[in-house]
Structures are given as C-alpha cells and as structure tokens.
Amino acid sequence: MKPTERFFEQVNRYFDAAAALTDHPAGLLDQIKQCNSVYHVTFPLERDDGTIEVLHAWRALHSSHKLPAKGGIRFAPTVSEDEVTALAALMTYKCAIVEVPFGGAKGGVQFDRTRYSETELERITRRFTFELIKKNFIGPAVDVPAPDYGTGPKEMAWIVDTYMSMRPDELHGAACVTGKPIAQGGVRGRLEATGRGVFFGVREAVNDREAMKALGLEPGLEGKRVILQGLGNVGYYSAKFLREAGAVITAIAERDVAVTDENGLDVEAAASHLRETGGLSGFAGATGQIDESARALELECDILIPAALEGQITAGNVDRVRAPIVAEAANGPVSANASDALDARGALVLPDLFLNAGGVTVSYFEWVKNLSHVRFGRMGKRYQESAGRRLLEAVEGATGKDFADDAVARIVAGAGEEDLVNSGLEETMVSAYHSIADSARRHGTSMRSAAFKAAIDKVAVVYLERGIFP
C-alpha cells in the first residue's frame, strides 16, 4: 500500500478483488463501487466563552439502490471526506450481507469532543442536524443516521428532537434516526447490539471445526485468549459477552496504556476505571501495563479484536501480529496490505463488513418499530405465556407430575422486545457467517473477498431487476 493510499481506495481494492469472482458487467460494477453524493458543510459554533469556531462536517450517501440510506454519525478530529465516503461504502456492503434493506451512508463532524462542554456538544449536534434537514439528507425514507465513534443515545435524542421540531406533522418522524433512548422510540438491545453481534460472529467462527482445524485450534470459546483494543461501547460488550461464554480477556488496550493479565481481566472493573479516570493507567486489576498501548496488538493470543478506529494493523506492524484470528469489531482496522499478509500466512480475518453488522441490524429493527408504532412482543407475549401454561397443565394432568414454580416460569415465559431483538440478531449473524464461510471455501478465497462478493451480488440483483443494466 502506498503511504498516500486513502481509506476509500483501500475499500475499493477489496471490492475489485471480489468483483473478479463475479461475472457482472463492468459498468454495473463501477456503479456499485462509486459514491453517489457527498455533502460537505461548515457552520459556526459559539463556544461557552463567547468565541466563535468554524466546524467542518460531512454526510456521504454511497448507494441509494435501497432507501433509506443508513449509517452512523461520528464526532472525531480524524473525520474527513475520505473517511466518511469509505465508511459509507462499507455500510452499503454491510447492509447487503446481512440482508437489511438499506443503502449505505455515513457522516461526521471534525472535532475532538473531549475539549467541548455538554452544552457545546448539544449545539453542534443540533446545528449539524439542521444542516442535514435543509438539504434533505435525513429522514425516515431518505437517510437514517445512528451512533458511531464519539456519539451515542444522547446525541441521537438531540437529533430526533431537532428533526421533530422542524417536521412536527411527520407521523413517522421518530424513525429519522436510530440508537435513540428507549423513551424516545429506541429499541431494547440496541446499545449492546454491535458488541453482541461481534460475539455471535466470533462464537460461530470458533465453533467451526473446519476453520479451527486449519488454525490448529480446538473448537469452542472456552479458554480462548482474547486481546481487545478499545474499551468503548463495541469493545466493552464484545469482551463482556465473550468472557461470559468462557473466553479469557488477557489484554485490553486503550489510548493511554494497555493492561494485561494472563489469568484474565475483569472487563467490568476495567470499564469502571476507564470511566472514572479517563484511561487504564494504574488499573489495579491488572498484573502488567504496557505504556505503548499499540504493542498489545503484537502479544500472543488466540483472538485479537481491534475495536477502536481504522488503520490499527498496517504493513508496518502486521509481521509482529501473532493472533491466528483477527476479529474486526471496528470499521477498517486492518489496512489492505496487512489484510493480504494475514491471509497469506493463513490467519482467519473476520471482516468488519460482516462482524460489526450487529448495530445496523438492530437499527433496522428499531426503524421498523418506529414505523409500526408497536413495541416488539406487545401483541403476543401474554398469549404465548398462556399457551405454554395450558400445555404444562395438560402435561401435569396426564402424568400426575407437578412442575416447580421456577421451572414453570422459565418454560412459559413469553418473548419480550429484547428477547426478540437478540434472537433476530443471532439469526442474522449466524446465517451470515455460514453463508460467507461456505462461499470462501467454495471459491478458495478469504472471508473478506467472500463477504464482498456476497454484497456485490445482492446489490447487483437490485439494479438488474429494475432493468437499469439489462
């Protein structure tokens, strides 16, 4: 990779490698690959001290083959047009892989949120939303943002409030954004969704006997050593669910330092220390500390999970990465050349456009909930419980055996909203993994190329069925 190669160029390198496995017309492939439009806006911010600062922000719409488009909004000093364009492209392919009926989009504001007060963050969020509304770059049927790096439910609440204040008569206005607080139309399970999706994807991979045999590993999560980079929302929930399933978190890297313990780190305690101090330095629950946190990526482990920002494993450090499984919980954490190097040595790379699709999957469930105006489980939960109870009563009557109260409660429990959301997410991630893995074996290619090929095929079908490319 040339030092000047941009993020979007790297995404398109992956695309071209996968496109060679298809027989679609060149013009169709070029249409799928290109970014449809990018909106760059600058706006002034009055700081709390009265000074004026000008901020830059972008919203990229990569594909509108299906509407609305979908993609997060990030607040970070690294935000650029190239970054949001690349991430929008990944969203197109990600939605296609998990069969979520959205086009791909992404947005961001270029600033360091740690240097701004709560009131300044609110002003920035509302002003960017206002700018998107003016140009019709947001709306339930047009483009639906979501949380990303540097944003969360609070920012989504500000977005939906701003949107509804300008479009008060729009019946489905709450569907203009996902990742909202529950009280404002959010869906239970969305906060944990991306991390839970990472867990489901990794779990399926390590339970794949053929894949583990190729790596010389025993199937199953029990005892697998995991190194995590980034203890934000995605990293925290990924590590939490993996640890609960028997994996051992041996190292966690954050911006300041990395902490280690071969016997396993307490993820909840580490996250609490991070919230209280702003870093992991001095975390009492670790037996070791690495001041240069990026070096944690090079420690021996079974599963390496980069869950921070893009470009963490590159041609410069890939030769020192020893993990046989690299699970891309972040977007673009492995550069194109580094990914090729990992594939060449036989490592299993679980690509971002599959592995972190849990967020957009559950965002889709939230969007559907907002359009239907009915909470998942509301119509059937009690009926399901009553049916289960009648069945148990019939069994008790026929056998003369009484079930204990706690057993009855477990057996007849109806599915609530979070149960249904998590079930739908699991089905999505499990099905997608096996589809991609089977394709990779069939074509003798990497998981990433197989995933891109699946995405290209699914987007191409939409164009071909419309008769745009006969």
From first CA to last CA, the distance across the chain in angstroms is 36
Which among 370, 421, 459, 442 has a CA at the least distance from the CA of 146? 370
Beta bridge partners of 349: 326
Which among 57, 63, 66, 65 has a CA at the least distance from the CA of 39? 57
Asked whether 327 and 206 are in contact (CB, 8 A), the reply is: no
Positive or negative, the CA dihedral 142, 148, 151, 156 is positive
Beta bridge partners of 73: 107, 147
Question: Does the active-site annotation cover 106?
Answer: yes
Instruction: Choose, from 94, 106, 180, 381, the residue flagged as catalytic.
Output: 106
Asked whether 39 and 105 are in contact (CB, 8 A), the reply is: no
Q: How far apart are CA 277 and CA 143, in angstroms?
A: 37
Task: Show Cβ contacts of residue 310 under 8 Å, excluding neighbours closer than 6 positions.
Answer: 7, 83, 86, 330, 331, 332, 333
Asked whether 146 and 155 are in contact (CB, 8 A), the reply is: no
Which residues are designated catalytic? 106
